[in-house]
Every structure is written in structure tokens, then in C-alpha cells.
Amino acid sequence: MKEKLKEFIVDLKLDEAEACADQLIRNGIDSQSLYDVVMDGLAEIGNKYENGECFIADLIVSGMMAKNIFEAANISKDSQKPSEPLGTVIIGTIYDDIHDIGKDLMVDALENKGIKVIDLGVDVKVEKFIEAVKQHNPDIIAVSCVMINSIGFIEELGIALEKEKLLKNRRFLLGGAVVNNEYVRIPQIDFMTNNFYEGIKYCEVYLRKKIEGEKGE
């Protein structure tokens, strides 16, 4: 039945996916297994988007589907957090953009990986990002953006972070539908993706390598 759920997610069959997930929950599937199935499905949708086989609207639908399934499963983030988090990520949707589905999924996924997340919300001004970095000293700064008109604020954020010397020993990420390596070129950004699954993997790999590096010092 887990394969069936993944198939429904990949095919964007919202009602069928949620019904299948409900049945799995009633049958006693553990939270991590359910999470992994949903994430595998979302990864395939991300690949389809990259290959031009689906559209932004499909990514939004898949995000809503995953959010509904996680809420139905009542997955407890706190119960899955290790005593020592892998690291800290500050995340927010840049100013003049109020889209939050992709950001919220990223938050849930990172927390399920044992990563501490400071969620700044949406429509976040450059000054608020700067203040949060100074306050929380994160390992990663992650910015979400869907609206192309907001790219200028991301460029402004990159310049401000560099000027304040806040990029040392941390990573600056950009994610969202606006991401396009041919048109978005911000030198301070370390990694860009419109596939949030890739973003999660990048964060996890970077934080684990950082921990290993600190242990080796």
C-alpha cells in the first residue's frame, strides 16, 4: 500500500492519496515510514518538473497534499528531534512575496531530519533577515521566493550579508519557483534549487560535514 500511496502522489491524485494515507495511518504505519514515502513521491514530482513534465501548479498541489497527509498523521516533530540538533537553519519568504507552501514543507522536512529551524514567515524584509542571523547565529540562511519581482530584494540581502560579514562559515540558499540558473545570478548564494527535496539534502549533507569537520579539529 505504501507504493500505491507514492503512485497517487506522483500522479497528483489528491483524494486517492489522502484516502490511502488515512488507511495506512489506521493500519499503524510509523511516522518516519509515512514521511519517507511522501518525500519519495515529492522527489519524483520535482524530477518531473525539472524535465518539463509538470508545472508550478503541480508543485503547489503536491505540497498541499503532503501537508494534509502530515497533518492527518499528527506527526510529532518534538518526539523525533534528537537531543542535539544537526544545526540551525533560518528560513523565510523574501519581502513582497507571501507564498508559504514550499517554505512550510521545507520547515517540516528539516525538523524531521533533526535540524533546528527558525521560521521568519513570509514577506520578510532584508533587515529582519540580518537581525535574525545576528541573533540566532545559524549554519544556513534559506530564502524562499516565488515572485520574480522579489529577486531584487534577494540581491539586496546578499549584499547586506556580505557587507555585515555574516556569510563566513555558513551557507546561503535560495529556493522556490523563481529559481533559474540562467537568469538568477546572485554571487553570494551558495546553492539554488526549485526542488525542495534537493534543498533538504543539501542542508543535511552540509551540516553533517560541518559536524565532522568540527570533530576533526
Using the predicted structure, report yes or no on whether residue 107 has a pLDDT greater than 60.
Answer: yes
pLDDT band at 217 (very low <50, low <70, confident <90, very high): low
pLDDT for the residue numbered 76: 45
Burial of 102 (0-12, 13-18, 19+ CB in 10 A): buried
Q: For the CA atoms of 79, 144, 36, 20, what is the dihedral angle to 10 degrees?
A: 100
Whole-number mean pLDDT of the chain?
87
CA distances from 209 to 171, 200, 214 (A): 13, 14, 9
Q: Which residues contact 5 (CB under 8 A, 6 or more apart)?
A: 17, 20, 21, 24, 37, 38, 41
Q: Say if residue 100's pLDDT is above 60.
A: yes
pLDDT of residue 75: 54
Q: Among 1-5, 103-107, 137-141, which is the least confidently predicted range?
A: 103-107
Query: According to the model, what pLDDT value does residue 182 have?
Result: 62
- Spatial separation of the C-alpha atoms in residues 99 and 86, rounded to whole Å: 27
Q: What local confidence, expressed as pLDDT, does residue 80 receive?
A: 47
| Phi and psi angles of residue 124, each rounded to the nearest 5 degrees, phi first | -90, 125
Are 56 and 84 in contact by the 8 Å Cβ rule? The answer is: no
Averaged pLDDT for residues 117-131? 97
Tens digit of pLDDT for each residue in 166-188? Answer: 999 999 999 987 787 666 789 99
| Domains of the chain with CATH codes | 2-75 (1.10.1240.10), 82-216 (3.40.50.280)
Higher pLDDT, residue 35 or 12: 12
Least confident of 5-9, 15-19, 157-161, 211-215: 211-215
Query: How far apart, in whole angstroms, are the C-alpha atoms of residue 108 and residue 100?
Result: 12
The radius of gyration of the chain from alpha carbons, rounded to an integer in Å, stands at: 18
Confidence (pLDDT) at 172:
97
Rounded distance between C-alpha atoms, residue 106 and residue 42, angstroms: 12
139 or 99: whose pLDDT is higher?
A: 139
Share of the chain above pLDDT 90, in %: 51
Burial of 186 (0-12, 13-18, 19+ CB in 10 A): middle
Number of neighbours of residue 90 by Cβ within 10 angstroms: 23
The answer, yes or no, to whether residue 78 has pLDDT greater than 50, is no
